[in-house]
């Protein structure tokens, strides 16, 4: 049990270090004001996706560009509207928000090819172009896993959110 907490702490430190410029950005911080799933903010969701992408990559012992994966994961839902508001009239959100997130992120950050691929293709297979990089595959899997956890609100997911709050990410 203590090892698990140490591993989680190390992953959160990695997220903070590699994604520091994204996390410090005012527009990124504004994602705290948008709901993603249930009572989870888009900011919290992005942290969760980043965390789980690192977990998956490390568990599989696959070499990845962790900085690009972290930044892409943090920015994968970088859009500023309430997608789940019935009055927003965005019936194709699942198919279109990745492009909007990429456009927004490109206006604020200098992105490399991996980061652009992660943001643009994280909704595969809804977005029909498959991921080009393994970092994109891990973020895509982490996004589905995080959304599932957020919907069912497991105790472990709540612990990750609490830990992120403790270290000042939330």
> 33 with 126: CB under 8 angstroms?
no
* pLDDT for the residue 89: 63
Per-residue model confidence (pLDDT) at position 57: 96
Q: Is residue 124 within 8 Å of 11, Cβ to Cβ?
A: no
- Mean pLDDT (whole number) for 38-61: 92
Who has greater pLDDT, 99 or 84? 99
At 155, list the tokens: 């105790």
> Residue 160's pLDDT is what?
75
127-136, pLDDT tens digit by residue? 888 999 999 9
Residue 154: strand, helix, or coil: coil
Domains observed in the chain: 2-166 (1.10.3210.10)
CA angle 101, 110, 144 (to 5 degrees): 35
Q: How confident is the model at residue 168 (pLDDT cuts 50, 70, 90)?
A: confident
Band of residue 156 on the pLDDT scale cut at 50, 70, 90 = low
CA-based torsion, 37, 43, 48, 49: positive or negative? positive
> In terms of Cα–Cα distance, which of 18, 46, 19 is closest to 30?
46
106 burial via Cβ count (<10 Å: 0-12, 13-18, 19+): middle
Whole-model pTM: value is 0.82
Name the range with the highest mean pLDDT among 25-39, 53-67, 85-99.
Answer: 53-67
Q: What average pLDDT does the segment 54-79 reach?
A: 95
**What is the per-residue pLDDT across 6-18, written as a single tens digit (0 to 9) for each?**
688 899 999 999 9
């Amino acid at each position: 049990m203590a090892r698990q907490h140490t591993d989680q702490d190390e992953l959160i430190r990695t997220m903070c270090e590699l994604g520091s410029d994204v996390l410090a950005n005012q527009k990124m911080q504004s994602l705290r004001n948008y709901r993603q799933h249930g009572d989870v903010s888009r900011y919290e969701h992005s942290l969760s996706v980043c965390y789980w992408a690192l977990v998956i990559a490390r568990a599989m012992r696959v070499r990845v560009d962790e900085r690009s994966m972290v930044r892409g994961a943090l920015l994968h839902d970088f859009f500023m509207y309430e997608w789940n508001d019935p009055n927003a009239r965005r019936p194709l959100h699942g198919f279109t928000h990745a492009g909007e997130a990429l456009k927004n992120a490109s206006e604020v950050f200098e992105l490399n090819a991996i980061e652009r691929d992660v943001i643009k293709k994280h909704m595969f297979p809804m977005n029909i172009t498959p991921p080009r990089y393994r970092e994109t595959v891990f973020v895509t899997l982490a996004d589905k896993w995080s959304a599932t956890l957020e919907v069912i609100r497991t105790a472990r997911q709540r612990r990750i959110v609490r830990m992120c709050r403790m270290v000042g990410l939330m």
